[in-house]
Amino acid sequence: MGHAVMTHTQNQITTTLTALTPNAQDAFTRYMEQADNAGTNHDYRTAMACAALTAGIPLPDGGEIALCACPNCWDCQQIFDANTPDAHPFGESDGYNLGRIQCPLCTDRHRATDEQ
């Protein structure tokens, strides 16, 4: 984790789920579920690309975005680059492709302990 090299030359790749239209929120959730359940890397990448497109943000260099899974403010809804060094992965992904990650702001404000 945290090995991604970011150039910080591009605009912040972030938005919130609540900023999207209800239809887009639906689609975004479906694409993230597709990514989570993808059987191949190709399917995973495709689902991630579609999710980013739906959220209206550019796909980050790492090809992965995440929805904040902060357990301390469950309505954060931040969508961000999953590989940003400021984010905080925690807990277990439990057999799925996607781990649980806190957005940089939540990592800063109330970092989760490393438990389920």
Residues that bind Zn ion (CB under 5 A): 68, 70, 72-73, 76, 78, 103, 106
- Residue 49 CA to its chain's centroid (Å): 12
Residue 39 beta carbon to Zn ion: minimum distance, rounded to whole angstroms: 29
Nearer to Zn ion, 38 or 70 (CB): 70
Nearer to Zn ion, 2 or 110 (CB): 110
DSSP 87: S
Query: Taking the CB of residue 76, how many other CB atoms lie within 10 A of it?
Result: 19
CA distance 97 to 36: 5
Nearer to Zn ion, 35 or 88 (CB): 88
